[in-house]
Amino acid sequence: MDDNYIDSIFEKYLHAKKIFKNKEVLRHSYTPKELPHRREQIEELAHILVPVLRGETPSNVFVYGKTGTGKTVTIKFVTDELKRISDKYEIPVDVIYINCEIVDTQYRVLANIVNHFKNESGVEVPLVGWPTDEVYARLKEVIDARERFVIIVLDEIDKLIKKSGDDILYSLTRINTELGLAKVSIIGISNDLKFKEYLDARVLSSLSEEEVVFPPYDANQLRDILMQRASDAFNEGVLDDGVVPLCAALAAREHGDARRALDLLRVAGEIAEREGASKVTERHVWKAQEKIEQDTMEEVIKTLPLHSKVLLYAIVLLDENGELPANTGDVYSVYMSLCDHIDLEPLTQRRVSDLINELDMLGIINAKVVSKGRYGRTKEIRLNVTPYKVKNIYRHDSQLQTMLTVSMSRQRRLL
């Protein structure tokens, strides 16, 4: 390939108008100096945690609200501020933040807490291998090495409980009775209020000593958040006037999700930059919306349980055979054949009907109940994604690769 051609590609992007001043400001992990429209929640959390500055143990807190309502960023903002003030008054405070979507077992949570103190204690727990009760004993030992307050933030706590049960919460919410010098407080964050139904009543009463609710943002509030971030994220004059209001309006439709609003603004900027555009326009926002929806759907399909993936492929085959909309019985018949093809024990038709409803809720398919007059009601199933997209995802899944060789005859026999 011509070296001049390669040089010209990089030169083109190097000399294109710079859209971003600091793109990191638009990341979910960024904690701004001010949080618009969350003063009430900041005040509540500060009131709950202020006993630390008086040498008293604060209550455990349960924080909940839908995705993108500012829970995590507000907790980080308040605990950062608490740490700053405690350092000023020489009050020893440790804040340990754990994302339970990643650290999702009792053992790994305990190990993460112990390893937070490894520079001080010299103790480091491997990610696997020790008996859990020994890890817990070390945790008490390293925390209680001196007088201090330890605040443990368990973000997406529902993921941990659903996977590993509530034993760890039972232990952590009662740990103060086993400590002599240190005091521990738990902050649990969840998108799913219903997860409390999984908790033992004693754990629930300990964890929910205080509760802070984060309501969704409306379009005007989202616009304020985006305007604040945009001034730090973008170079002056690169945003068209309609960009921020459009991002806010689109995210407001998604139950007021600030993360979605920030993603839209960031991806719109990235698309404009890639095009070599001098400005970010509403057209870039619409393209960003399309890209994010495609990426989200792909991730949803990748993380489906195995039977749901097989069921989805049955619907793909029916679509390719020109047989959609299909009813549950048609889909189940192809699903059974696919299970036989990959040597998988099939689920009952009732359970598959539940999985169809779940795929419908996720937006991957459309399963609409229609009336057939005197023949009763039936479910009409249609595909909301392209067969190519599903096949492309399955190509990288070793469990499902053999299924991709299957096609269907018009008589609905697998070939």
Residue set of the binding site for ATP: 69-73, 217, 229
Measured between alpha carbons, how far is 118 from 143 in angstroms, rounded to an integer? 11
Backbone angles phi, psi at 97, to 5 degrees: -100, 125
In DSSP terms, 366 is beta-bridged to 382
In contact, 65 and 52? CB cutoff 8 Å: no
CB-CB contact of 179 with 145 (8 Å): no
Helix extents (H) in 254-305: 258-275, 282-302
b (16+ CB within 10 A) / e for 243-282: bbbbbbebbbebebbbbbbbbbbbbbbbbbbeeebeebbe
8 Å CB contact between 397 and 309: yes
Known binding positions: 69-73, 217, 229
Here the tokens at position 189 are: 């964050």
Distance of CA 10 to the CA centre of its chain: 35
Q: Where are the alpha helices (DSSP H) in 234-373?
A: 243-253, 258-275, 282-302, 306-320, 328-341, 349-361
Q: Residue 346 has what DSSP assignment?
A: P
